[in-house]
Structure 1
Amino acid sequence: MNLRICLTFLILPFSFLALSQTDADPASLVNPYVDSKNSRWFFFNSATRPFGMVNLSPDTDMGGAWGSGYRYESDSIKGLSHVHAWQLSALSVLPVSEFTLGTERNFGSPFSHETEIVQPGYHRLWLDRYTIKVELTSTLRTGFHRYTFPRNASKQVLIRIGGLLGPSQITDGELIQLDSKTLQGHVINGPTVRRPYNTPVFFAIKLNQNISDINGWGAEGLSKKLSNIHGEDSGVLLGVDGGKQELLMKVGISYVSEAQAMLNLNSELPHWDFDQVVKESTEEWNSYLGRIEVKGATEKDRRRFYTDLFHALQGRRTISDVNGKYADLTSGTHQVKQIPLDEAGNPKFRHFNSDSFWGAQWTINTLWHLVYPEITEEFVNSMLRYYQDGGLIPRGPSGGNYTYVMTGASSTPFIVSAYQKGIRGFDVDLAYEGLKKNHRAGGIMEKAGYEHKTALGGGFSYYLKNGFVPWPIPEGNFGYHQDGPSLTLEYAYQDWTLAQLAKALGDKSAEQEFLQRSKNYQNTYDKESSWMRPRHVDGSWKTPFDPYEYNAGFNEANGSQGTWFVPHDLEGLAELMGGTEKAIERLNQSFVESEKLGFTSGTSHAQETHPEYRRIPINYGNQPSIQTSFIFHKLGKPALTQYWSRAIVNRIYSGLSHENGYNGDEDQGLMGSLAVLMKIGLFQMNGGTEADPAYQIGSPIFDQVSIKLNPKYYPGKEFIIKTLGNSPEHVYIKRANWKSQPLPALDLRHSQIIHGGELLLEMSNQAN
């Protein structure tokens, strides 16, 4: 595609209503800098809305999915881009002044954190090279920029058309000038290892001042001709008329077309009041974050809590337009589809871009379904659109593509848990049909990570025939994460969750089919070594075997971490280990050893292969073993859950430093959600997938937690957790009362919580 260029202008906002940090204004307590030293493309966000299509933030590092985007310790801003999503990027711009295009492509500018403001929905910084103040905010689908230039300086905006931008090589694009203040166009995200097809992102741009000049570069070198500005290294430099120092720019985004991008812009942002948009964005963030109100602990604890909740509400992005149109790329061809409309002509739900739901059974399944059930319902409906379009319920779609990220059928627990919790505003029969397909031959379980064109990497045929997935898989390598024991354990758990839905729907035959398969975890447990262990295809155990060797049969984990992945039958696992007491003693020792390394494999995902860190028995820096502290509760020792969960929160999820916080693997809300749940003392070991799901009560760090229940889904007004005598030392629950009645088991059912009420916990420094 050729790039016909005209002017494009991005305005970065500056004026900001500096918000006081108060508990009544939770957005002001969020610290987006946390762990930004270890940032990845979709991790850091500032000028965005919850689940926003637009994620407008500065980029200090442009290349790669990891170590890119905004990184706190980088000292130069390379661009301001509008899409920071799973395997997608788009439209990087930068205001400049007194700049002349030449052979040099170093447009970046130093900046200082001392003159920077970053809060949910707003970002302000100074470009020191150009002495330009940049401010950014957004609506759901439109970025809004405000730039303040030096007096009497030239006003210019640089727009990149092609080049490496985060996870994507932007291979080409087009820019067209519609009038003196309006532009539109698109860029092409080239295929990646994870996202198989070219994916266009369309945009529409409006400036509040006239475009005076345009210069560009591309395949033909420097040029004023739009036809010459295209290719993998291309862009334009716009000059802007007018004597005003302040320049405003609005940028609408769409995955469908330029016209749809313009529709999004005009519908969501018909005015030029930048401060009003900042105010509305703050109000929207407060409305989401304010659904959980916490009191007590320290101000630092509350700031970190709302930072965790902030992360739980982003990363997974809207990709449908304001009128419900969306792009379907499941076949490799860009097709425009339509979300069903309600009687008022509005889309019934949104369509989404999302990383995997791998690990969501212990994180967003509980948090979203209880606190944001309307979001859960939208996501389920979005998954069903992918099923209707491409034939599979996805486990991590990207801009209309299947990506087959990670392994198994990770969407199954998410959907089953939604149904079991009464969230049923979707076609249940269609969902059940799609989930059964995923769990049978021809479904998504057959595919290993990012296995686009074959269906052998998941070892699914061996799982069905022999009851376990061998390692290595005899046919060879077809994707990532072809680790037999991990796949066996994951399939068995997900089969159990599907059996629960079959039971709820009265399908006894399927219930027995999947229940029987859920016992397959036993086939990868080696009683001689007392570990989950890789097996050859002939059934013999892999030798030699080191349970602390990383990625040797276990996806992003070692055998010690993977051994505990039986969330649906911990009693059965304990029996294999020689009884409950032996299992508890063994797990407790694993925590004692893990504490010496801080409960994580280093401070970033990249350090998991470090010779020392990879040998940690339990790793709370990645998803495979983040349930382990609540295993004690399920095996009858809740005091150990209370002790270790508090220790983990204190060591890993309490800081506000840019250097750490999630240890580099915050997969679009999963670790943020986990931190939230551990701090309020709620967990669901099996992902909340049984009938009337149970919540295990942990050790809240706050004096009071109030969860406002959505009245469209749940009959109660508030679910309140109060603690008496709480402190960093008083981590144990001495006595529990639910609605003034004793609660000895420290479990509550979903039906109890959603009718509202108060859980009162008397805390102590002595275990019961």
Structure 2
Amino acid sequence: MPTADPVDLVYPQLDTENSRWFFFSSASRPFGMVNLSPDTEIDGAWGSGYRYKTDTIKGFSHVHGWQISGLSVMPVFISEENKDAVFTDFHSKFSHETEKVSPGYHSVELERYGITAELTSTKRVGFHKYSFPGEGRSAILFNLNTILGPSANVDGKMEKTGDKTLSGSLEMEPTHRRPKPFKLYFKIALDVDIDSVRQDQETGNYLVYTDPGEKNVLMKAAISYTSLENAATNMDSELNHWDFEKTVADSKREWNDLLGRIKIEGGTETAQRRFYTDLWHALQGRRTISDVNGAYPDNTGENFRIGQLPLDEHGKPKFAHYNSDAFWGAQWTLNTLWGLVYPNIMKDFALSLLQYQKDGGLVPRGPSGGNYTYVMTGASSTPFMVSAIQKGILTEDLESVYQVLKKNHMIGGIMAKAGYEHDTSLGGGLKYYLEEGYVPYPIPDGDFGGHQDGASLTLEYAYQDWTLAQLAKKLGHQEDYDYFLARSKNYKNVFDASTGWMRPKDVDGQWREDYDPYQHEHGFIEANGAQATWFVPHDLEGLAELMGGTKKAIEKLNTQFQTADKLGFTSGSSHAQELHPEYSRIPINYGNQPSIQTAFIFNRLGSPDLTQYWSRKVTEKVFGGLSPSTGYNGDEDQGLMGSLAVLLKIGLFQMNGGTEENPSYQIGSPIFGSVEISLDQNYYPGKTFTIKTINKNKDNILVKSGILNGEKVEGSTISHSQITEGGELLLKMGRSE
């Protein structure tokens, strides 16, 4: 076991040179509504937030979420020289040498002012501790009207409501992805008297002067997306004291509980630290938007309304409501990790997705601002929901769940919409998929959104149809099962036998001319044809047959891995480099979601040794080490890459997203001597499941044999029920002969 608590091993600065608005987190709780941290860049969803190489802090903002931002504050000293300029000239240098960062806590020294700022939070309340040692008037600048990450904060207003309290609101302007404005309400409380409040007429922002004699100031900032009253309720319910250190300790304890659900032994200190950093990322990014009393913002209709989540017998919300990036790629990441280790989290998100459906008519694939964004493509929530059902996590009203998921797969459903296609349902090309068996490229109807790449859309729809077919089968809908199973074979319609690759096809059925399988996009979503060809997780045997047999398929994929190995398995070190000619032609890319399942394809084709060999190589090159300059190559989509790294390191993976009856887990190559998973006994009968390796060293990375609870493991898979009943999997490791 680690010598330190898991929370103390987390390295929050991982990959922060490539950070974007929702990536970095410090003073935050798991999935917190508030995720308070310093911002060194504030303009744009990409290249913003906490950027390690930028040495200037431009404020401490409370919301870093998918397409949402808000409530930026900055402690300052006011003198005669800066009293008027401070509203536009307030940034301060800082140094990483005096900075302290850990889950739930952040401390920096603002060199311009000599102020030490410490941050922590509850789920919905930011808690600040400022030390003002210098001369001058201490004050706090509230930048309520400013560009902040993905959008501008506008119409910011604040008023003094008591000797030590303030209230206000601001609006986040719509973005290309979030089509409606989104309002944030806040309640502020200080532990010292407020001397005065001054609003700047030019910027509209506010300067709050504290008592001149006070050198240490505590400030609480509670938020709500529904009302000022609920912001106050959130503060009263979650932070009814002024003990800053207690809040830090409580946050550490909450993180430690979740991170400690997986205990590891062995490996280097760096490997252990990176593991818990990966796990930490799997438990953040997607943000709570409901209040402590269950009120939540519903923007799905023509007019904004305040919704109310169902309450339990104690008057508490049965689940939380969330702001979330897409579940695109979650079938190989969150489905497995959350479903096994955090089933309560998986259920919460499933119920939240269903609440959106109750309000707006469709199960979303990535909601923001209480509304649909149509981020990415397809019906990516279907595998997530089906996996939760097949694992016994979501058990209520399954027939209704099936019907609303089915709606998404038909004309009028979310599958018909391309990325960010808010007003039409033509860009996803679903009518062609249903009539011709594939989505053409280009789609002749026109450009209506993003990612209108027909070959990839065909592959995604076919896989998602297969997962829905499994639920139809479970519920006894034989006709639907046959229908969606037949649709799941549509992937064959974009496989070109003459080249051996998936290939875009136009509306007349003609293959794309001068086809280059290594050209990025142009028919494929955030991928090239070589990477996307393997996106058939539900029928790899059928894909191999198209390629001329299992042996040829294995040889083909192995060659791709050998080439990708020389390039480090990623398209450069940031998401932005995928289009760069130097990086885009890589045949397997573990820097983005479309081909992250490929190492485990060998397992399904009867060569588990190649799965173990290549998954270990990927783990070492892509997900090993601790540095601000790399880590996830700039594309850690709210837990997806963190979860993938965890699964590779514990040696468990689910090719089809855990969507079949009694889902199976493929065995990889664990990097630790022991991995103990605490099973949630509210969902599973077992107490713990432990994976132990013997004869493990840097050369012995192949699994020579496995014993599960005293019985020999046949093949390279074990079932969900075998794991959740608890016990021990013993893996004897060796090297290739």
Fold conserved (TM > 0.5)?
Answer: yes
Matched, 1:102 2:84: yes
* Structure 1 residues 554-593: aligned runs within 5 Å: 554-593=524-563
Residue 644 of structure 1: how far off its partner (Å): 0.4
* Aligned residue among 358, 364, 370 for 2:328: 358
Distance in 2, matches of 1:427 and 1:608, equals 43
* Aligned residue among 274, 293, 296 for 1:326: 296
In structure 1, the residue matched to 2:19 is: 39
Distance in 2, matches of 1:544 and 1:151, equals 68
> Which stretch of structure 1 is more off in the superposition, 643-652 or 429-438?
429-438
Distance in 2, matches of 1:617 and 1:746, equals 26
In structure 1, the residue matched to 2:352 is: 382
* Structure 1 residues 369-768: aligned runs within 5 Å: 369-766=339-736
In structure 1, the residue matched to 2:312 is: 342
Give SS of 1:179's match. coil
Residues 426, 118 of structure 1: alpha-carbon distance in 2 compared, 3 angstrom cutoff: farther
- What amino acid does structure 1 have at the position aligned with 2:122? T
Distance in 2, matches of 1:24 and 1:650, equals 23
Residues 24, 717 of structure 1: alpha-carbon distance in 2 compared, 3 angstrom cutoff: farther
> Which stretch of structure 1 is more off in the superposition, 171-180 or 190-199?
171-180
Residue 254 of structure 1: how far off its partner (Å): 0.7
Residues 125, 332 of structure 1: alpha-carbon distance in 2 compared, 3 angstrom cutoff: farther
Give SS of 1:84's match. strand
Matched, 1:280 2:250: yes
In structure 2, the residue matched to 1:148 is: 131
Give SS of 1:668's match. coil
* Aligned residue among 121, 128, 141 for 2:104: 121
CA offset digits 1:636-662 (Å, max 9, x no partner): 000000000000010010110000000
Distance in 2, matches of 1:542 and 1:152, equals 70
**Does the 8 Å contact 1:532/1:563 carry over to 2?**
yes
- What amino acid does structure 2 have at the position aligned with 1:41? W
| Structure 2, gaps ≥5 residues long | none
Matched, 1:66 2:49: no
In structure 1, the residue matched to 2:31 is: 51
**Does the 8 Å contact 1:683/1:695 carry over to 2?**
yes
In structure 1, the residue matched to 2:280 is: 310
CA offset digits 1:729-753 (Å, max 9, x no partner): 1110111111111113121100110
Distance in 1, matches of 2:567 and 2:144, equals 45
In structure 2, the residue matched to 1:86 is: 66
- What amino acid does structure 2 have at the position aligned with 1:172? D
Distance in 2, matches of 1:167 and 1:548, equals 32
CA offset digits 1:713-741 (Å, max 9, x no partner): 00000000000011221110111111111
Instruction: State the TM-score, normalizing by the size of structure 1.
Output: 0.95
Matched, 1:239 2:209: yes
**Does the 8 Å contact 1:469/1:485 carry over to 2?**
yes
* Aligned residue among 172, 175, 179 for 2:162: 179
Give SS of 2:613's match. helix
CA offset digits 1:675-718 (Å, max 9, x no partner): 00000000000000000000000000000000000010000000
| Structure 1, gaps ≥5 residues long | 1-20, 222-232
Instruction: State the TM-score, normalizing by the size of structure 2.
Output: 0.99
Residue 242 of structure 1: how far off its partner (Å): 4.9
Residue 102 of structure 1: how far off its partner (Å): 2.8
**Does the 8 Å contact 2:332/2:657 carry over to 1?**
yes
CA offset digits 1:598-656 (Å, max 9, x no partner): 00000000000110200000000000000000000000000000000000010010110
Residue 138 of structure 1: how far off its partner (Å): 0.3
In structure 1, the residue matched to 2:151 is: 168
CA offset digits 1:468-522 (Å, max 9, x no partner): 0000000110000000000000000000000000000111111111001000000
Give SS of 1:615's match. coil
Give SS of 1:106's match. coil
* Structure 1 residues 209-228: aligned runs within 5 Å: 209-218=192-201, 221=202
Residues 681, 22 of structure 1: alpha-carbon distance in 2 compared, 3 angstrom cutoff: closer
Give SS of 1:589's match. helix
Distance in 1, matches of 2:573 and 2:446, equals 33
Give SS of 1:686's match. coil
Distance in 2, matches of 1:414 and 1:140, equals 25
Residue 103 of structure 1: how far off its partner (Å): 4.8
> Which stretch of structure 1 is more off in the superposition, 155-164 or 582-591?
155-164
Distance in 2, matches of 1:120 and 1:103, equals 35
Give SS of 1:673's match. helix
Matched, 1:260 2:230: yes
Would you say how many aligned residue pairs link Structure 1 and Structure 2? Answer: 734
The Cα RMSD (Å) is 1.1
**Does the 8 Å contact 1:22/1:28 carry over to 2?**
no
Aligned-residue sequence identity (percent) comes to 60
In structure 1, the residue matched to 2:114 is: 131
Distance in 1, matches of 2:604 and 2:475, equals 27
Distance in 1, matches of 2:93 and 2:710, equals 59
- What amino acid does structure 1 have at the position aligned with 2:597? Q
In structure 1, the residue matched to 2:10 is: 30
In structure 2, the residue matched to 1:225 is: none
- What amino acid does structure 1 have at the position aligned with 2:352? S
Distance in 1, matches of 2:721 and 2:197, equals 62
Give SS of 2:467's match. helix
Give SS of 2:367's match. coil
- What amino acid does structure 1 have at the position aligned with 2:377? T
> Which stretch of structure 1 is more off in the superposition, 757-766 or 478-487?
757-766
**Does the 8 Å contact 2:666/2:718 carry over to 1?**
yes
Residue 255 of structure 1: how far off its partner (Å): 0.8
Distance in 2, matches of 1:369 and 1:535, equals 37
> Which stretch of structure 1 is more off in the superposition, 690-699 or 726-735?
726-735
Give SS of 1:762's match. strand
Residue 151 of structure 1: how far off its partner (Å): 4.7
**Does the 8 Å contact 2:274/2:626 carry over to 1?**
yes
> Which stretch of structure 1 is more off in the superposition, 94-103 or 427-436?
94-103
Distance in 2, matches of 1:305 and 1:642, equals 18
**Does the 8 Å contact 2:416/2:426 carry over to 1?**
yes
**Does the 8 Å contact 1:459/1:484 carry over to 2?**
yes
In structure 2, the residue matched to 1:15 is: none
Distance in 2, matches of 1:291 and 1:399, equals 31
**Does the 8 Å contact 2:137/2:212 carry over to 1?**
no
**Does the 8 Å contact 1:197/1:332 carry over to 2?**
no
